[in-house]
Structure 1
Amino acid sequence: MCIHALKWANKLRRGRETMVLSRRAILLSGVALGIAAAAAGKAQAAGFAEWEAGLKGKPAREIRILAISHPASDAMKALTPEFEAATGIKVTWEIVGSGEIMSKQLLAQTARDTSYDVYMVRGTALAEYEAKRMLSDLGDLLKDKAATPDDYDFEDIHVAYRQGIGTAKGKTLGIPVAGETFFLSYRKDLFEKYGRKAPDTMDELLETARFFQNKEPGLYGISMRAETGRTLALSWELFTPAFGANVIDQKTWDVTVDSPKTQQSLEYLLALLSNAPPDIETYSWDAAVSAFASGKTAMWFDATSLQPWLTDATKSKIVGKVGYVAPPSGPKGRFGPVGGWSLGLPANSRNKEAGWAFIAWMTSKQKAKEVVAKGGVPSRLSTLSSPEFTAQDPELAKAIKDSLDAAGNLLAIGRNWVPQTPEANKIQQTAGFYAGQALLKKLSPKEALAAAKPELEQISARIKKSL
């Protein structure tokens, strides 16, 4: 399972914001989760069973699903024959690359193509889907007891996933099936050797990185993504909320990139990266995890989904030597990012009822656990807190849950890791370019932010005009 997921992860493009997902990223419970649905109780199972039986009694239907190659889609494909037998709905899967799926969906929207009934959608791009009216609002379906099992319990899906990769402009446009967040991994052996504790605050993180920088020959303090451009902007955004800083205010869309707090956040990032390998400005996700897995750094701040690299002896020299904690807290609190994929209904679909039946079935409490058991990614609190999940590696399970809670904190203050606007890519490319100039010491942080402001103001004006 791990090797399959890692092969999949290696295919992803460098530098994109989607954090690489894998089967064992947050699934440590094995196949035991597949039978855990029985613990849900007779009343809950009856609610689902009655709803499922109602689907079977309807005329034969067919749906087509457009998805990416991914452990979550593999797991749902494995359960598709059971879904077909239980509901009478025939399913055809079309699998494409993660880099081409949105273009294909945009083309279908423009051509008014009605071929697809379920989309796998990039959660951080939902604002663009919403702006182009490509997806149906799922809110009414979730409330409709004829369309959704009584015991579906939408609130059981972690709020960070529900809001972070399932919602845009107040509309529920997707049901999360493959989410992830960031956490801090550290070398337990080195920390024990030098009497250090895992950092809990941003001050402690910086101090710890400085402590380990060149502590031993070839050892650096930390590795993380810092490739100049959008990648660097996404790493910068891991810290701005903790300072109360913004590149652009996501509520007013005013440019605040040159504010004292934003400058402070950039200076913190640069100080942290000064305790990384000397070529850190070239690091995307793969270089960052490889540096840590090879024993080159004492810490690594990146995606939960990449954790399997650290336990794969063919890729890691530090197997059994790694600990995990949630992102560090800062002056304004503890925050984290969330990204990943959801299932949505194409606006052009002629089979929305059957398409929704597929989504509701696969993401129900009963079947979601079976999806996880077959290699999918848990999105529900009931799975994340289950003994089957937590028993295998309590520290890792706690770090994942705490990190998701930190991501929920970000959403609670009205912010997203990737701004919910079709202009998000341009915002981050611009911010990341000028932050890169400061990282490369071509400009001071203050000069870099001042240079970024005019370009960001042009983007801001376009956003405000579109509102």
Structure 2
Amino acid sequence: MSEFTRRAALRGAAGLLAAPALAGAARAQSGFDWKRFKGERVEVSLVANPRSTLLFQYHKEFEELTGIKVGAEQIPEQQHRQKFAIEFSSGKPSFDVINISLHVNKLQVGRAKWCTDLRPLIADASITAPDLDMADFSPASIAYATQADGRLDTLPLDVDHFILYWNKEMLAAKNVAVPQTFDELYTAAKALTDPAKQQYGFVGRGLRNANMTLWSSFLLGTPQRDMIDGNRKLITDTPDAIAATQQYARIMRDCAPPGVNAFNWNECQTTFMQGRAAFWIDGVGYAAPLEDPKRSRVAGKLGYAVVPAGSAHRHSAFFCTGLGISEASTRKGPAWLYIQWVLNKQNQARMLATGAGAPTRLSPFSGEAASSGGTFPREYFTTLVESIRIARPGLPEILPVTEFRDTIGTALVNCLGGADAAGELKKATDAFRPVLEQSERAT
């Protein structure tokens, strides 16, 4: 056992400290040695997205700071989830640091204890740099990353808030105002739809499983808001859920391109950046490619707004990812330094300034990029700040979340094809309810 591993184990009791106390312990140190693991290597497995692309650009910075060599991979989201689950189950994962989609895999990773509890490391002044500054992370993101038993087995990397992208040129051509409600969104999108010109008022995720993240935006606007109730019971076949489904299906059928029931974010992004859709509701992290004049026809013509209001509420659905250390790793020291570097204030500010996503730290929002507009218009930053204020999780925190998304997502696809929303949701809810109940009993 290494000196680092023994010391971390001895400080296990200190890991029970709350976040503010951890922050104080981290700030109290001085003279931190970033070179203590010089000559070692850390293997990192990341999801392929703008955040990872940004980190790859600066890995040399980490290597120069620490003397640690980084071996990193970017894998598409679905394949990444399958890969790390297989590797963790084998007991010999190839990575030291893993990127986790908390809205999908948090409970899976937590129950299996695949990742190291980071609290003892945070409390250890010899291994944690002063500028980790736990108090700078939003309380909501830390709560989202914390397991039910109090273990903090990831630190939150980014929060993906859903926003409304809109094409300024298309709206101006017909003097259409930015919609404030979902009813207004449908009316505006319908007015801007002209299939003969391959011009559509709206584009959004219709593919099974992926469609749940868009559908949740409509459900969050209803009086119900949630997919499970306070007693952990499934409530996806209620009048509010039916109304949300009808609203979702109507705009997708009447105002979106043909074949939208097979669209994930990539197809939506391509359609929107080609100038063929007026509105798109999706994650804030897609701003960078949309504003790139080399790739996008809507660069400089892009508007940003908070997701429209429903009949009772206005919420921005959010989804969160985190970084954890494999419990099986023999290089936890280098891995912990890597996570601290990724989550430092400079990298989080870079994420915000480049449009790669929404940081989980608070300080970037008071920085130069947000106050001056930086690379992006001020509207982008104000929309993000407003979305943070009304953020609410876009998926329930349950273990079989992938099966849940598949089951309810199939009902949504059928509704896009014209099936009755009430019948489809009842069938899907009846099918998934025992799956959820069984998983809850196993908790």
Normalised by the length of structure 1, the TM-score is 0.76
Quick one: which of 88, 96, 104 aligns to 1:109? 88
Alpha-carbon distance change, 114 to 208 in structure 1, aligned in 2, over 3 angstroms: closer
Deviation (angstroms), 1:423: 0.5
Matched with 2:237 is: 258
| Corresponding residue number in structure 2 for 1:419 | 396
Q: Distance in 2 between matches of 1:157 and 1:187?
A: 33
Aligned partner of 1:461 in structure 2 is 437
Q: Are the structure 2 counterparts of residues 198 and 250 from structure 1 closer, same or farther at C-alpha, using a change threshold of 3 Å?
A: same
Whether the aligned pair in 2 keeps the contact of 1:253 and 1:463 (CA below 8 Å) is: no
> Alpha-carbon deviations, 1:387-439, whole Å to 9, x = none?
224423101122233233333xx1xxxxx323323300111111111122222
CA distance in 1, matches of 2:37, 2:259: 61
Q: Does 1:317 align with 2:306?
A: no
Aligned residue in 1 for 2:20: none
Q: Which residue of 2 aligns with 1:305?
A: 285
Q: Distance in 1 between matches of 2:259 and 2:306?
A: 26
- 373 and 218 in structure 1: CA distance in 2 versus 1, 3 angstrom threshold: closer
1:449 corresponds to which of 417, 425, 443: 425
| Counterparts in 2 of 1:297 and 1:103: CA distance versus 1, 3 Å | closer
Structure 1 CA distance, aligned partners of 2:121 and 2:153? 11
Following TM superposition, by how much is the alpha carbon of 1:224 offset from its aligned partner in structure 2, in angstroms? 0.9
Match of 2:6 in 1: none
8 A Cα contact 1:121 1:342, kept in partner: yes
Displacement of 1:356 in angstroms is: 1.8
User: In the alignment, which residue of structure 2 is the partner of 1:402?
Assistant: 386
| Pairing 1:221–2:205 present | no
1:76 positional shift: 4.2
Unpaired stretches in structure 2, ≥5 consecutive residues: 1-23
SS in structure 2 opposite 1:338?
strand
Report the equivalent of 1:232. 211
- Flag the 1:220–1:369 CA change in 2: closer, same or farther, 3 A: closer
Inter-CA distance 384–216: structure 2 relative to 1 (3 Å threshold): farther
The Cα of 1:250 is off from its aligned counterpart by 5.8
Partner deviation per Cα, 1:40-90 (whole Å, 9 max, x = no partner): xxxx9x96992523x54x5767342222355544554555555455446x3
C-alpha distance in structure 2 between counterparts of 1:248 and 1:371, whole Å: 31
1:62 aligns with 2:40: yes
Equivalent residue, structure 2, for 1:387: 368
Change (3 A) 1:102 1:287: closer
Per-residue Cα deviation, 1:122-166 (whole angstroms, up to 9, x for no partner): 3332221112211122234334444433443324234554445x3
Partner of 2:340: 360
TM-score, scaled relative to structure 2: 0.80
Q: Which aligned pairs between 1:324-339 and structure 2 lie closer than 5 A?
A: 324-339=304-319
Aligned to 1:52: 32
Aligned to 1:23: none
Answering whether residue 95 of structure 2 is matched by residue 95 of structure 1, we say no
Query: Is the contact between residue 184 and residue 301 of structure 1 (CA under 8 Å) also seen in structure 2?
Result: yes
Partners of 1:275 and 1:51 in 2: how far apart? 59
Q: Distance in 1 between matches of 2:197 and 2:350?
A: 47
CA distance in 2, matches of 1:140, 1:451: 46
Change (3 A) 1:324 1:73: closer
User: Of 255, 268, 274, which aligns to 2:247?
Assistant: 268
1:2-60 Cα deviation digits (max 9, x unpaired)? xxxxxxxxxxxxxxxxxxxxxxxxxxxxxxxxxxxxxxxxxx9x96992523x54x576
RMSD over aligned Cα, in angstroms? 3.3
Deviation at 1:288, TM superposition (A): 1.9
Moved over 6 A (4+): 370-376
CA deviation profile, 1:304-346 (whole Å, cap 9, x unmatched) = 2222343344543333222111112224432223335422111
Report if the CA contact (8 A) 2:119-2:152 is conserved: yes
CA separation of 1:214/1:107 partners in 2, compared to 1, >3 Å: closer, same or farther?
closer
1: CA distance between counterparts of 2:237 and 2:187? 26
Distance 1:96 1:209, change over 3 A: closer
Mapped partners of 1:259, 1:448: distance in 2: 12
**Aligned partner of 1:338: which letter?**
F
Rounded to whole Å, the distance in 1 between the matches of 2:32 and 2:180 is 46
Residues 250 and 419 of structure 1 are in contact (CA less than 8 Å); yes or no, is this contact kept in structure 2? no
Q: Is the 8 A contact 2:229 2:235 kept in 1?
A: no
Structure 1 residues 136, 223: CA separation in 2 closer, same or farther (over 3 Å shift)?
same
How many residue pairs get aligned? The number is 410
Distance 1:319 1:59 in 2: 44
- Does the aligned pair in 1 maintain the 2:160–2:358 contact within 8 Å? no
Q: 1:429 maps to which residue?
A: 406
Contact 1:131 1:422 (C-alpha < 8 Å) held by counterparts:
no
